[in-house]
């Protein structure tokens, strides 16, 4: 029995598709019309490697959106006839524009071969392709051809046979449309499945969701479900309000971003006219020499802005909570003390309020990051880091979860799901806590102004963030050459065109992160502050043991006698070599629950432990008790050490192993101790 393969030949007009069709089929072809339309249908035969190959020449199209009858015919043929292989003829001299059709074929998950036609013209234009790399990124065989000279015929037929043998593959490199659009696609997809839309018998739910969001008239007319249409309308309106453009425009931009990223890694030069402005900017921003300094400078400016604008606002917040504490304390008679007063003033206002005073800095930092993300720059930052990441055995796409880690480690660890290679994913998960998450900002915002002059504020913040990135890179390299040895799987780094962010979009993305911080302050930090206040207030020493002590000495004795005081004293010998006393030690224990608790617990310690109560700000009390070297070591230790409990739980969930979660917990804590020990001891020698 003769083996047969059905091939659909797709491609842009003027890509040389007809020439390739003639090259493959020769005289063995006939012409007719597609059923029900006047569009010409060309079909031909050829034989190769024991197979009889039927080749159908689809109408030339730039995309598979049904804007024309030719595009609708081409798409319907692929969906309904289900050819064994789709060969996309690409004009290699105009690579990025022609690959747009390929992205839509990739989304349809068809067995795909790319024929890079006119490869001689591309070579004359100075385009050099890394075919092997690009083939891995697009997950399709790529064959250079010159149709009018018959070059590449055998190689193309070999690729067709091999692809037909493999059949459909589960693709690793799904085109991502960005967080906002992906959320809406998930919502639409859920409604499609829930309403048992009849179209899912023919189409995949995600593909349907994309087409509906693109306002594909052909698909929309077939839905026949009001709930699905309403869900799509609501999602489209939401996205339009954020991006200022219709969803189909944003989706098209993301596809071009996928193409640009793939070409940036595997094509020496690009001539895509549609992205002229982006390409001009990228020549500077992605430059091998300038790219990294530009990234570092932008991050420095972000931190400079955070302190320059945030410090006065933070001063007002401090004043507000100091006033609030005084007013609450004034509800009791002068000299009267009691557990309720101490709980409200020292525990809740001193704890939660001590964290909330840093809200302006957090808000400004997230605002700046939202602008960089929505403008398209953060995707470039990941690409700039790609070259460094390759050297440590990872792909630049691993840096995307790390960037998300600047907001919170939890979604960052979840974002590693885009990494198909398990070794890459585990390595990235292990080092994500080294990215300074938003929970650490209150610590930095407390320590930096307390110990460093104003002109150094932005620089110190930048410095601590860069230390985290550098340590993450070093640790990742060590993990990749020891625990997680193995090959790195290539990924496409999407480079969406630059866009002017909308005000609404920026504030939505900023508020999402700020709201997480406020919820944590109102729940976790509040609960922990109350628990820690109790542990620092009880048990109380006997009145006889406090006899003869002045108020300050009595407060210190009571604190030392409490549960927290005893734990702190017990661990103080271990912490002394890194410059910490028992008060810092107990705050570090509290930070295991949530990093911000470090600040709230110090606020409680110094409120409970000071006879002057709230008459001094926490910064002033730290200045009086510690040196700038100790302040820097506090930031360093909090940067590296003990991820919060929620991060450990998420690591266990994503790795499906408590072993990796505990490895992360103890590994980072040991690293923090060693690094801080070296810095403190060397610093102590230098400062005398």
- pLDDT one-digit tens code per residue, 36-74: 766 778 899 999 988 999 999 998 888 888 777 888 888
Helix (H, G, I), strand (E, B) or coil at 272: coil
219 and 338 fall within a common domain = no
> Are residues 80 and 108 in contact, defined by beta-carbon separation less than 8 angstroms?
no
Residue 1 has pLDDT above 50, yes or no: no
d(C-alpha 370, C-alpha 393), whole Å = 29
d(C-alpha 651, C-alpha 648), whole Å = 5
Residue 158 has pLDDT above 90, yes or no: yes
> Are residues 512 and 584 in contact, defined by beta-carbon separation less than 8 angstroms?
no
User: Which DSSP letter does residue 556 get?
Assistant: H
> Are residues 604 and 358 in contact, defined by beta-carbon separation less than 8 angstroms?
no
d(C-alpha 214, C-alpha 247), whole Å = 6
User: CA angle, 420 as apex, 418 and 425 as ends, to 5°?
Assistant: 80
Residue 357: enclosing H or E segment and its boundaries? none
Most confident of 27-36, 362-371, 398-407, 445-454: 445-454
d(C-alpha 504, C-alpha 338), whole Å = 48
Structure tokens at 284: 């500077």
Strand order in the sheet with 29-33: 29-33, 40-48, 51-57, 3-11, 85-91, 112-117, 141-144
d(C-alpha 524, C-alpha 602), whole Å = 16
Most confident of 6-15, 291-300, 625-634: 625-634
User: Which DSSP letter does residue 241 get?
Assistant: H
- Whether the upstream peptide bond of residue 539 has omega within 30° of 0, thus cis, is yes
Look at residue 172 and tell me if it is in a domain. Answer: no
Look up tokens 């597609």; give the residue: 34
- What is the CATH classification number for the domain harbouring 245? 1.10.287.1770
Contacts of 154 (CB under 8 A, 6+ apart): 48
User: CA angle, 40 as apex, 34 and 43 as ends, to 5°?
Assistant: 80
pLDDT of residue 683: 93
Each residue's pLDDT tens digit, 540-599: 887 777 777 776 667 677 777 888 778 888 888 999 999 999 888 888 887 777 787 788
pLDDT band at 278 (very low <50, low <70, confident <90, very high): low
92 and 201 fall within a common domain = no
Contacts of 177 (CB under 8 A, 6+ apart): 185, 210, 250, 251, 254
Residue 202: enclosing H or E segment and its boundaries? none
42 and 186 fall within a common domain = no
Look up tokens 């031909």; give the residue: 44
Structure tokens at 211: 């087409």
d(C-alpha 322, C-alpha 328), whole Å = 10
Most confident of 151-155, 290-294, 526-530, 541-545: 151-155
**Mean model confidence pLDDT for the chain:** 82
Averaged pLDDT, 618-638: 90
Each residue's pLDDT tens digit, 413-449: 877 876 767 888 899 999 999 988 877 888 898 899 8
Tallying the residues shown for the chain, one arrives at 688
214 and 273 fall within a common domain = yes
Look at residue 265 and tell me if it is in a domain. Answer: yes
Look at residue 171 and tell me if it is in a domain. Answer: no
**Residue 136: is it exposed, middle or buried by C-beta count within 10 angstroms (0-12/13-18/19+)?**
buried
Distance from chain centroid for Cα 598? 26
Q: What are phi and psi of 485, to 5 degrees?
A: -65, 145
230 and 305 fall within a common domain = no
102 and 134 fall within a common domain = yes
Percent of the chain with pLDDT over 70: 90
Look at residue 489 and tell me if it is in a domain. Answer: no
Residue 244 has pLDDT above 50, yes or no: yes
Cα Rg, the chain, nearest whole Å: 31
**Residue 27: is it exposed, middle or buried by C-beta count within 10 angstroms (0-12/13-18/19+)?**
exposed
Structure tokens at 309: 């604008």
611 and 669 fall within a common domain = yes
Look at residue 291 and tell me if it is in a domain. Answer: no
Position with higher pLDDT, 290 vs 646: 290
> Are residues 152 and 145 in contact, defined by beta-carbon separation less than 8 angstroms?
yes
Structure tokens at 105: 């074929």
Q: How many CA atoms lie within 13 A of 563 on its CB side?
A: 11
Look at residue 107 and tell me if it is in a domain. Answer: yes
d(C-alpha 308, C-alpha 304), whole Å = 6
Residue 671 has pLDDT above 90, yes or no: yes
574 and 654 fall within a common domain = yes
Structure tokens at 54: 């039927």
Which of 168, 164, 167, 166 lies closest to 53, judged by CA? 164
CA dihedral (145, 146, 147, 151) positive or negative: negative
User: CA angle, 313 as apex, 311 and 319 as ends, to 5°?
Assistant: 105
pLDDT of residue 613: 40
- C-alpha distances (whole Å) from 113 to each of 9, 89, 262, 480 are 10, 9, 16, 33
d(C-alpha 648, C-alpha 659), whole Å = 11
Look at residue 632 and tell me if it is in a domain. Answer: yes
Q: Which domain holds residue 31?
A: 3-166
- Helices 247-266, 95-107: axis angle to 10 degrees equals 110
Domain end position, chosen among 285, 315, 340:
285
Q: How many CA atoms lie within 13 A of 380 on its CB side?
A: 28
d(C-alpha 500, C-alpha 470), whole Å = 31
Measured from the Cβ of residue 120, the count of other Cβ atoms closer than 10 Å reads: 16
Each residue's pLDDT tens digit, 607-616: 654 444 444 5
pLDDT band at 509 (very low <50, low <70, confident <90, very high): confident
Dihedral of the CA atoms 317, 321, 327, 328 (nearest 10)? 150
511 and 428 fall within a common domain = yes
Look at residue 490 and tell me if it is in a domain. Answer: no
Each residue's pLDDT tens digit, 119-139: 888 888 788 888 998 998 889
Position with higher pLDDT, 518 vs 16: 16
539 and 415 fall within a common domain = yes
> Are residues 190 and 210 in contact, defined by beta-carbon separation less than 8 angstroms?
no
- Which of 158-167, 322-331, 338-347, 488-497 has the lowest average pLDDT? 488-497
412 and 543 fall within a common domain = yes
d(C-alpha 58, C-alpha 71), whole Å = 9
Residue 682 has pLDDT above 90, yes or no: yes
Averaged pLDDT, 269-281: 56
- What is the CATH classification number for the domain harbouring 140? 3.40.50.300
Each residue's pLDDT tens digit, 90-111: 988 888 888 989 999 999 889 9
d(C-alpha 89, C-alpha 98), whole Å = 8
Q: How many CA atoms lie within 13 A of 355 on its CB side?
A: 30
Domain count, the chain: 3
Domain end position, chosen among 230, 252, 285:
285
- C-alpha distances (whole Å) from 576 to each of 125, 328, 492 are 66, 37, 48
pLDDT of residue 19: 85
Domain end position, chosen among 285, 320, 342:
285
80 and 223 fall within a common domain = no
């Amino acid at each position: 029995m003769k083996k047969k393969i059905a091939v659909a030949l797709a491609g842009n007009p003027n890509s040389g598709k007809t020439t390739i069709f003639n090259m493959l089929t020769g005289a063995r072809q006939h012409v007719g019309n597609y059923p029900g339309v006047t569009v010409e249908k060309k079909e031909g035969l050829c034989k190769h490697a024991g197979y009889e190959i039927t080749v159908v020449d689809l109408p030339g199209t730039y995309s598979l959106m049904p804007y024309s009858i030719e595009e609708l015919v081409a798409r319907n043929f692929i969906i309904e006839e289900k050819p064994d292989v789709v060969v996309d003829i690409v004009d290699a001299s105009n690579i990025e524009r022609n690959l747009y059709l390929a992205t839509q074929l990739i989304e349809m998950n068809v067995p795909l071969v790319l024929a890079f036609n006119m490869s001689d013209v591309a070579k004359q234009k100075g385009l050099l392709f890394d075919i092997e790399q690009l083939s891995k990124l697009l997950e399709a065989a790529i064959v250079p051809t010159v149709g009018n000279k018959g070059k590449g015929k055998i190689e193309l037929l070999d690729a067709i046979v091999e692809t037909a043998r493999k059949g459909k593959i589960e693709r690793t490199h799904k085109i991502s449309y960005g967080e906002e659009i992906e959320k809406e696609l998930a919502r639409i997809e859920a409604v499609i499945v829930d309403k048992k839309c009849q179209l899912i018998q023919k189409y995949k739910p995600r593909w349907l969701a994309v087409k509906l969001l693109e306002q594909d008239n052909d698909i929309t007319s077939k839905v026949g479900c009001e709930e699905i249409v309403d869900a799509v309308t609501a999602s489209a309106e939401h996205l339009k309000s954020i991006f200022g453009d219709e969803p189909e425009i944003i989706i098209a931009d993301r596809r071009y971003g996928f193409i640009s990223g793939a070409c940036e890694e595997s094509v020496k030069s690009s001539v895509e006219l549609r992205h002229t402005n982006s390409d001009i900017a990228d020549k500077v921003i992605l430059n091998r020499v300038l790219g990294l300094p530009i990234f570092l400078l932008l991050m420095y400016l972000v931190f400079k802005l955070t302190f320059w604008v945030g410090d006065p606002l933070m001063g007002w917040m401090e004043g507000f909570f100091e006033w609030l504490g005084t007013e609450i304390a004034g509800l009791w008679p002068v000299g009267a003390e009691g557990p309720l007063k101490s709980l409200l003033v020292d525990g809740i206002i001193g704890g939660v309020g001590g964290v909330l005073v840093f809200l302006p800095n957090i808000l400004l930092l997230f605002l700046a990051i939202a602008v960089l993300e929505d403008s398209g720059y953060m995707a470039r930052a990941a690409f700039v880091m790609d070259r460094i990441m390759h050297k440590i055995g990872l792909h630049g796409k691993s840096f995307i979860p790390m960037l998300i880690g600047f907001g919170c480690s939890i979604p960052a660890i979840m974002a590693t799901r885009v990494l198909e290679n398990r070794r890459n994913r585990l390595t990235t998960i292990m080092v994500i806590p080294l990215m300074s998450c938003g929970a650490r900002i209150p610590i930095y915002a407390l320590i930096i102004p307390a110990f460093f002059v104003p002109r150094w504020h932005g620089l110190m913040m930048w410095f601590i963030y860069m230390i985290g990135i550098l340590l993450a890179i070093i640790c990742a390299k060590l993990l990749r050459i020891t625990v997680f040895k193995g090959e790195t799987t290539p990924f496409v780094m999407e480079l969406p065109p630059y866009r002017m962010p909308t005000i609404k979009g920026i504030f939505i993305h900023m508020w999402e992160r700020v709201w997480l911080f406020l919820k944590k302050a109102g729940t976790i930090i509040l609960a922990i502050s109350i628990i820690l206040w109790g542990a620092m207030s009880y048990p109380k020493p006997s009145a006889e043991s406090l006899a003869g002590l002045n108020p300050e000495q009595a407060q210190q004795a009571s604190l030392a006698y409490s549960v927290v005081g005893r734990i702190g004293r017990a661990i103080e010998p271990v912490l002394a070599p890194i410059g910490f006393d028992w008060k810092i030690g107990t705050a570090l224990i509290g930070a295991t629950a949530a990093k911000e608790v470090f600040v709230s617990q110090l606020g409680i310690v110094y409120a409970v432990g000071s006879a002057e109560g709230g008459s001094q700000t926490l910064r002033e009390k730290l200045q009086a008790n510690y040196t700038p070297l100790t302040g820097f070591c506090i930031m360093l230790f909090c940067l590296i050490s003990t991820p919060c409990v929620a991060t450990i739980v998420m690591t266990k969930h994503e790795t499906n192993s408590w072993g990796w979660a505990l490895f992360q917990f103890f590994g980072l804590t040991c690293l923090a101790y060693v690094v801080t020990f070296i810095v403190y001891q060397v610093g102590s020698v230098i400062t005398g």
